[in-house]
């Protein structure tokens, strides 16, 4: 049997599983929705369909390049829930590369199965793009660190069990040379989380406060003051993790946008057709770029600085796509999802508002351009940025 035939059988089996085991409609109640999503992730894991790129020894599938592409395409087509939190695509690669055997054994399988939800704690009110300026401190007392400070713009922190966070263990002026990478129990005394409401009217982000939080030294990943190289792994995978998934997602979203244009009688306009053609070209480029990213990770273990190219391309695309959708809606483009007259329950307007933040999250567009200029194109380095890597 040829590789194409066996890949076809894999696709058929995966599609059948996702169809037969589909968890149904997403509940509206937040607590019910969380339980629903956890149940689905456990179903995936128990059936051997979790972690397409993860090593088998940690519960993953360790798929070939071709099958990872198939997996992402079928997963997006099935419209089933994605991962909870931000641990799978960001913290897990860091833990696999730098964690101790005990840390890997304790954390990786529960994370993959959805039993433990992880959230990132990097950015601070005065340390976003200039992350080496972070001021959250971790003072060592024997076998523990005492953590004090604040983090902001944290996705899923309100449902997290573990916070993978960056802290200053060196003196204030040490910048990237005094940063450590800690795993903090999100339910520990002294940890408080407050949701932040955004333009959409929802709370997609949180801020986190650490007030004398005690963290075992055993929960530090890597060396003390050696967290900066780990940041590069985390953020590189953050930018790469969704590349193929986003390509599959926006293949579907663009098809739905084309349907919207037909419904509103706009496709007779050659300018509208030109815009839709441009989006079609970019969706195909997005897919090819996602495939290249997966290939780079499989060959080198890291996505490399080119992941910034993919990230910048995607965020610009999703902003422009939703801007165009709102233009198509005309006066209905001012109606939010709670308005009874909103088109398609206001999904395009909600997307327009949500994607205003796309060029900020996972590294601002300006930081991505710096990385591309210096590490991909080889242009002179920005002297204001750290010499060991780029982050937000």
φ and ψ at residue 195, rounded to 5 degrees: -65, 150
**What tokens appear for 186 in the block?**
């999100």
CB-based burial of residue 206 (10 Å sphere; 0-12 exposed, 13-18 middle, 19+ buried)?
buried
Residue 325 to residue 250: CA distance in whole angstroms: 13
Catalytic residue among 102, 238, 259, 374: 238
Cβ-in-10-Å burial (0-12, 13-18, 19+) of 323 comes to middle
Burial class (CB in 10 A: 0-12, 13-18, 19+), 154: buried
User: Alpha-carbon distance 7 to 66, whole Å?
Assistant: 8
**3-state SS, residue 217:** helix
Q: Is 73 a catalytic residue?
A: no
E strand or H helix that includes residue 260: helix 243-263
What are the tokens at 323?
């801007």
Q: Which of 44, 88, 108, 87 is nearest to 186 (CA)?
A: 87
Q: Which residues pair with 182 in a beta bridge?
A: 165, 220
> Residue 365's closest CA among 99, 121, 128, 120?
128
Q: Counting beta carbons within 10 angstroms of the beta carbon of residue 130, is it exposed (0 to 12), middle (13 to 18) or buried (19 or more)?
A: middle
Place of tokens 């949180």: 206
Report whether 206 contacts 158 (CB < 8 A): yes
CA atoms within 13 A on the CB side of 153: 16
Give the residue numbers annotated as catalytic, written as ranges.
Answer: 238
């Amino acid at each position: 049997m040829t590789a194409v035939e066996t890949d076809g059988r894999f696709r058929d089996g995966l599609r059948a599983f996702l169809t037969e085991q589909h968890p149904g409609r997403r509940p509206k109640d937040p607590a019910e929705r969380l339980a629903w999503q956890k149940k689905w992730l456990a179903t995936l894991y128990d059936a051997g369909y979790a972690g397409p790129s993860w090593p088998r020894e940690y519960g993953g599938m360790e798929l070939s390049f071709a099958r990872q592409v198939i997996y992402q395409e079928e997963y997006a087509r099935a419209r089933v829930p994605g991962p909870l939190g931000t641990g799978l695509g960001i913290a897990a690669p860091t833990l696999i590369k730098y964690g101790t055997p005990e840390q890997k054994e304790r954390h990786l399988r529960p994370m993959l199965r959805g039993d433990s939800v992880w959230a990132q704690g990097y950015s601070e009110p005065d340390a976003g793009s200039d992350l080496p300026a972070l001021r959250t401190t971790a003072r060592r007392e024997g076998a523990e660190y005492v953590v004090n400070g604040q983090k902001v713009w944290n996705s899923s922190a309100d449902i997290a069990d573990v916070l993978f966070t960056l802290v200053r263990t060196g003196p204030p002026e040490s910048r990237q040379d005094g940063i450590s990478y800690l795993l903090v129990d999100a339910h520990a005394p002294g940890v408080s989380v407050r949701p932040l409401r955004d333009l959409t009217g929802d709370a997609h982000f949180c801020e986190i406060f650490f007030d004398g939080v005690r963290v075992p030294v055993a929960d530090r990943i890597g060396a003390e003051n050696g967290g900066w190289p780990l940041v590069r792994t985390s953020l590189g995978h953050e930018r790469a993790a969704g590349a193929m998934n986003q390509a599959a997602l926006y293949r579907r979203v663009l098809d739905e946008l084309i349907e919207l244009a037909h419904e509103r009688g706009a496709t007779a306009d050659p300018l509208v057709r030109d815009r839709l053609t441009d989006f079609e070209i970019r969706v195909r480029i997005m897919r090819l770029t996602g495939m290249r990213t997966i290939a780079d990770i499989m060959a080198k273990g890291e996505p490399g600085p080119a992941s910034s190219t993919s990230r910048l391309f995607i965020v610009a695309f999703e902003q422009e796509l939703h801007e165009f959708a709102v233009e198509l809606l005309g006066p209905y483009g001012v109606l939010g999802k709670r308005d009874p007259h909103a088109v398609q329950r206001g999904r395009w307007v909600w997307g327009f508002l949500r994607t205003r933040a796309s060029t900020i999250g996972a590294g601002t567009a300006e930081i991505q351009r710096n990385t591309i200029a210096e590490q991909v194109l080889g242009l002179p380095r920005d002297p204001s940025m750290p010499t060991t890597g780029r982050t937000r």
